[in-house]
Amino acid sequence: MIDEPVTGMTDQELLAEKSTLMVILQFGSIDAADDDEEIAEFASRLEKIDNEMAYRGEGKQMEVQLIPPAYSWESQARQYAESGSPGLTLEQHMVEVDTGNEVFDIPADLAGPNVSVIDCLLMRDEQGCLIAILNHYDGKNPMESADAVNLWVRPDCQRRGIGTTMAQEAGRRWPGARLEDQRYTPMGMLLLRSLLDSQ
């Protein structure tokens, strides 16, 4: 990885390696960045990648916040019905701000200041099986800012444009959910590049 010339790498390869290096440098890794010399080597490589991406950028660069993946697909999918109507559907879930407990007994439009409404955009395949989840937050949740979105695509359905479709739909439904205001996992950065290329 470290010795490969960056000029011969594809955009996707550059983004993937940049994501890996950023995670190593920001959050540490069990097998990487054990000493100062290794850390300096990773930082130098990251600078070369940044320079190459800026050279190719065509005005599409933006500063983003990188975060490690927090929740698995399985942890999120279990919160929804196993089957449903094919295509896109919207559910609203409510949680108490103080406790994080889900609220079931009031309509979303009557939720008070201590209840956070989460818009849950779901995509199901032709058989009605859940394949993607996008959560949009109202700003009351202490863990997420207003118009933040979280996106999961079922692992066996990734790299098929589903994430791009979900992100574009979120932009149509919630104009405040801007790309530049989101936080990205390494896989999310690949999605971001796809979205920028499609603009």
Cα separation values, 135 from 97, 152, 186, Å: 16, 9, 18
Q: Any bridge partners for residue 160, and if so which?
A: none
Q: Where are the domains of the chain?
A: 6-61, 73-184
Please, are residues 191 and 114 in contact by the beta-carbon 8 Å criterion? no
Mean pLDDT by 10 residues, the chain (199 residues): 68 73 61 63 79 63 68 93 95 90 82 90 97 95 90 93 92 90 80 73
Half-sphere exposure in the Cβ direction for 125 (13 Å, CA): 11
pTM over 0.75: no
